[in-house]
């Protein structure tokens, strides 16, 4: 993502991650595109995420419909209702999403896919937030969860190839084995060799960072984190420049569990005194380690000691890991997600690792203990 400001392109529909710029806004209601029917493989061409399709379905079920909500610049021009283009009324953002309906005998569910940006998907259970005991399940090369979603429906979720996949039962019943089988059987809808988003850094895919627009405040995880990120001021940071940013970032070491994580993207918030970096596990290129460094007076860092977020967790406790009290939390100690919050040399740090088959609580705590200044 270039830091240069794009020329004002006026009312632009069909803009996507390859052409979006921070000055582009949707200004003409007639230019807005509603969701349209498609196929998962055709949807890939315009999506800023890897599109999946079911590789396994219960015997009585079949795909009834797939639609894409095309990406459009932020904006709510006069005469345009957010519902007209399938968007939320809670922001002016118009990101892309793919929705697939699966129908069987007296039952139906939907699979929603999108790029969850720019925040870690809350404790890996964002759509199931508030579920007392979300159930971890194997989901291909990742860990998914079953629980109750924000609509009160039985639901499931997982991140695969950096794509957020959320399942919601709309009618009838699907048992846990079927929901887990659906997550486990997801397959890329297009040939991975011809899917360029796989090679694109996350900050170039992020809708909010590309358009530099106000985002919606969402839960970050098991500890209460700061406010919504001010994307209008964010600046992408190259790996070679990370050592010069303030406040100083800490990164995984070359040994131990952190050695398996590689830098995906980093951005700074110079006016807010914070920097964030995302590392991905090389085992699947998707599982995230999200590290935030914030100046002591920045609103973007969590309070220390932090307050618990309103999501039940298996573990929340303080321990000494870096010669400092570190506040550790785990949705489940065995499968994650895991978080650590602490203060060191006047800087507030938060490390958030999504649920993963490659970590457990012990490995995550070692990873945190071995984080090194850039």
CA distance 307 to 252: 25
Q: What is the DSSP secondary-structure string of 204-223?
A: HH-HHHHHT-PPPP---SSB
The answer to whether 16 touches 95, Cβ cutoff 8 Å, is: no
Residues found in the chain:
374
* Domains (range + CATH), the chain: 29-196 (3.30.200.100), 234-373 (3.40.1000)
Q: What is the DSSP secondary-structure string of 7-19?
A: P---S--S--TTT
Render each residue's pLDDT in the chain as its tens digit; 374 residues.
Answer: 333 333 333 334 455 778 778 889 999 998 899 999 999 999 999 899 999 999 999 999 999 999 999 999 999 898 888 888 888 888 888 999 999 999 999 999 999 999 998 788 999 999 999 999 999 999 999 999 999 999 999 999 999 999 999 999 999 999 999 999 999 999 999 998 888 999 999 989 999 999 998 878 888 899 998 778 888 888 998 888 888 899 999 999 899 999 999 999 999 999 999 999 999 999 999 999 999 999 999 999 889 999 999 999 999 999 999 999 999 999 999 999 999 999 999 999 999 999 999 999 999 999 999 999 98
CA distance 29 to 357: 45
Q: Is the dihedral of CA 28, 71, 13, 4 positive or negative?
A: positive
Q: How many CB atoms lie within 10 A of CB 270?
A: 12
The answer to whether 34 touches 70, Cβ cutoff 8 Å, is: no
CA distance 154 to 289: 28
Q: How many CB atoms lie within 10 A of CB 164?
A: 20
Is this structure's pTM higher than 0.85? yes
């Amino acid at each position: 993502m270039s830091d240069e400001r794009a020329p004002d392109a006026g009312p632009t529909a069909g803009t996507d991650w390859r052409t979006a710029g921070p000055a582009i806004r949707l200004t003409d209601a007639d230019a807005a595109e509603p969701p349209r029917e498609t196929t998962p493989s055709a949807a890939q061409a315009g999506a800023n995420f890897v599109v999946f399709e079911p590789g396994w379905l219960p015997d009585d079920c079949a795909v009834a419909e797939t639609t894409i909500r095309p990406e459009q610049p932020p904006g709510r021009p006069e005469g345009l209702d957010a519902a007209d283009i399938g968007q939320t009324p809670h922001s002016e953002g118009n990101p892309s999403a793919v929705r697939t309906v699966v129908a069987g005998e007296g039952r139906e569910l939907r699979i929603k896919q999108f790029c969850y940006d720019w925040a870690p998907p809350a404790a890996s259970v964002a759509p199931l937030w508030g579920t007392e005991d979300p159930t971890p399940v194997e989901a291909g090369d990742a860990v998914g969860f079953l629980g109750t979603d924000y609509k009160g429906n039985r639901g499931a979720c997982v991140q695969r190839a950096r794509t957020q996949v959320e399942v919601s039962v709309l009618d009838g019943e699907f048992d846990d084995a079927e929901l887990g089988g659906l997550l486990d059987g997801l397959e890329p809808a297009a040939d991975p060799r011809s899917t360029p988003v796989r090679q694109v850094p996350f900050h170039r895919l992020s809708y909010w960072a590309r358009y530099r627009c106000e985002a919606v405040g969402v839960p970050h995880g098991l500890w209460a984190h700061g406010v919504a990120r001010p994307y209008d001021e964010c600046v992408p940071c190259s790996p070679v420049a990370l050592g010069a940013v303030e406040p100083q970032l800490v990164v995984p070491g070359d040994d131990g569990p952190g050695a398996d994580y590689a830098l995906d993207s980093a951005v700074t918030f110079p006016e807010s005194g914070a920097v964030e970096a995302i590392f991905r596990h090389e085992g699947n290129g998707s599982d995230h380690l999200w590290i935030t460094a914030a100046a002591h007076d920045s609103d973007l860092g969590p309070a220390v000691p932090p307050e618990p977020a309103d999501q039940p967790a298996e573990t929340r406790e303080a321990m000494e890991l870096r010669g400092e009290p570190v506040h550790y939390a785990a949705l489940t100690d065995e499968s994650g997600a895991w978080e650590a919050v602490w203060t060191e040399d006047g800087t507030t740090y938060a490390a958030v690792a999504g649920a993963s088959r490659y970590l457990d609580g012990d490995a995550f705590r070692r990873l945190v203990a071995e984080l090194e200044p850039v």
